[in-house]
A and B are shown apart, each in its own frame.
Chain A
């Protein structure tokens, strides 16, 4: 055994305890910084430029520095405020998934033959890809051949034979065209989004209900608690971790609502169903978008909104850790 080798080993031995966690964390840290942390700063940087995303033949960026101009434009952009407003609508109405999920979970939390099958059926929409959910609801809302259209036609339309002898329909009131109506389109998409989200919250509550202590319920029952009071004061406090998680995933789901919008309306009609995430995509990388700087400014605003929420989330986690 030579001296150099020995000293090396002793250095490693001395620092093994400090090094080991870092070694384990290193891969995650590396990828997290490459794919998350660095892009955040890149996109903030780009938001101060006007850039169409192109490099010239020498590989130099064609961006020009414009300072805060992109942000000034945001303040004067109707579409941006429409998107921001829609984000708020999404946040508020998406929250319905939490009580709805709780209600279904309470309903399904019983021992009946075949309950597992019912549970999995209720969980089914969450397993389906959002894209498929979007497509299905798009058809569902379709005024020509969708469910709504068909019901409407049964009520207000009659079949006629048109000029070339084909069957056609004539209506006293034309069927509602939910996804093409600026007032209703966003709600239509949110409703579609709620379907899988409720299933998600339901499964969170179902697992939570498994951990509710039977002793406490027994005790509460002896004290005469029933129904609503039992739920409010005994069950719900024990479900607090599940509620917290359900709210977290629902807020995240609402803020990153993108696939449904892309599939169902592509932000239309005329931009009225845009949310910040989709508007950013549209301005920066869609077919008619080549404004990387402006898109990045939108992304930065979205990031700041999320940051408020993420900070609260981290603070809350930190509090929990300390409490233990």
Chain B
């Protein structure tokens, strides 16, 4: 019933769209970030594209990020734009499987992206084809209060013993080692991912999020055991479950906590909270299993062509355009993130420089727990992480529950 009604509504919507049909030269782009920086970066790129293609009339719709996440389900099948922003990895999988995204392997082929965008190619690939073109990504790692570390004579830890020693020194000085706000769950996944990547490595991360490794597996249990030691030793701030990631900056800014496992987008937040670049610095999440090849979290944002797009020719031009080194350089300088094209140059903030160094020498790039795992699994997993952080004694029950969800999700 729903289906019949929906498709009849659809045909009405379609005929309406036909009557106001976009002219051949129109290119409609749906973008998902109205914040000043990202918007400016995107608009500058669009202007550059217009200058290079004067015959194309670009129409831009900028939507709020959360609204975009809901709206995309409708507009992909009803009134599709020619280009839409979205995320790679498992986040694009439902749309690819429903046949709503266009295969753009030809764009990758024609522009040599397999080489210049090699870092992100695996996560843009499903069934051996590429479905979109990424324009930015950013590093994760440990952001820390350099002034506090200096005062206590601490150096950036490079392995787990040094990290623990630093944490104990901080605790003795009355500083909580790590701040975190788990109200919106995903921050806890960042900690879990890094522990997993450092203890078990990239393959296990991928196998876990692909449902090939159980949560009750010894290797995953090891991750939780290390995490448990950290929690029981009081490494994390109290009350984290009522704080968002922005709220969790407060103890960091006040000097009550000294480290934050976060993505590079948080640097703006530190500066807004009154910290200067001299007070904060970045180090790679330290090694835990000695000699394990280092993999990093590097979530990317990308552009896709909906199957129902009307102007796929110009859309392909745009995809090729946003991956150009000069465009990615400018764009990412504006938004303070890292370009993916290896021929692009990186902005000169120290965080970007270190981030570039971190990602370009990594052996594997993970997207993030909630982008690598399917939505249902990600939700259950992240709730489990939060529950575990509040009460470590529930570990076994949580892991068994996650196994049950896993059985259901990847059947």
Shortest Cβ distance from residue A36 to the other chain B in the assembled complex, whole angstroms: 14
Least Cβ distance of B30 to chain A in Å? 17
Across-interface contacts of B307 in A (CB, < 8 A): 57
Q: Mark B81-101, 1 if CB is under 8 A from A, else 0.
A: 000000000000011011110
A-chain residues with CB within 8 Å of residue B3 when the two chains form the complex: 60-61, 63
Q: Are the C-beta atoms of B174 and A163 separated by less than 8 Å?
A: yes
Given A60-B7, A164-B148: A289 and B379 interface contact (C-beta under 8 Å) = yes
**Interface: A62 (CB within 8 A):** yes
Tally of contact residues, A, Cβ under 8 A: 48
The answer to whether B255 and A180 touch across the interface, beta carbons within 8 angstroms, is: no
Query: Is B383 within 8 A of A271, CB to CB?
Result: yes
A253 at interface, CB cutoff 8 A = no
On chain B, the residues within 8 Å of A268 by CB distance are 183, 185, 241, 383, 386
User: Contact at A162–B255, with CB atoms within 8 Å?
Assistant: yes
Q: Tell me whether A52 and B185 are in contact (CB under 8 A).
A: no
- Residue A5 at the B interface, CB < 8 A? no
By beta carbon, the residue of chain A nearest B69 is: A287
Q: Shortest distance in angstroms between B162's beta carbon and chain A's nearest beta carbon?
A: 20
- Asked whether B308 lies within 8 Å of A269 as measured between CB atoms, the reply is no
B376 adjacent to chain A (CB < 8 Å): yes
The answer to the question of A125 belonging to the interface, with a C-beta cut-off of 8 Å to chain B, is no
In the assembly, what is the distance between CA of A262 and CA of B7, in Å? 31
Q: Which residues of B contact A259 (CB under 8 A)?
A: none
B45 interface residue per 8 A CB criterion: no
CB distance from A254 to the nearest CB of B (A): 24
Main secondary structure of the interface of A (DSSP, over half): loop
Query: 1/0 contact trace for B50-74 toward A, CB 8 Å?
Result: 0000000000000000100110010
- Is A45 an interface residue, CB under 8 A from the partner? yes
**At the interface, yes or no: B317 with Cβ under 8 Å from chain A?**
no
Chain B: CB-nearest residue to A283: B376
- Chain B 153-173 interface mask (CB, 8 Å, partner A; 1/0): 000000000000000000001
Contact check, A45 vs B1: say whether CB atoms are below 8 A apart.
yes
Are A144 and B239 neighbours in the complex by a CB distance under 8 Å?
yes
Contact with A along B376-395 (1 / 0, CB 8 A): 10110001101100100000
Q: Is the CB of B98 within 8 A of A290?
A: no
B212 CB within 8 Å of chain A: no
A46's closest neighbor in chain B, by CB?
B2
Shortest distance from the beta carbon of B156 to any chain A beta carbon, whole Å: 18
Nearest-Cβ distance from residue A323 to partner chain B, whole angstroms: 39
Chain A: minimal CB distance from B380 (Å):
9
A207 at the B interface (CB under 8 A): no
Chain B contacts of A41 at CB under 8 A?
Answer: 1
CA distance A217 to B266 in the complex (A): 68
In the complex formed, the residue of B with least CB distance to A168 is B256
> 9 closest pairs, A vs B, by CB?
A180-B241, A164-B255, A288-B379, A55-B77, A57-B307, A42-B2, A270-B387, A270-B383, A54-B98
Taking Cβ atoms with an 8 Å cutoff, the residues of A that contact B are 38, 41-43, 45-46, 52-57, 59-63, 73, 78, 141-144, 160, 162-166, 168, 170, 174-175, 177, 179-180, 266, 268-271, 282, 285, 287-291
Known: A160-B174, A162-B255, A177-B242. 7 other contacts (CB 8 A): A46-B2, A78-B401, A163-B174, A164-B151, A177-B238, A180-B240, A180-B390
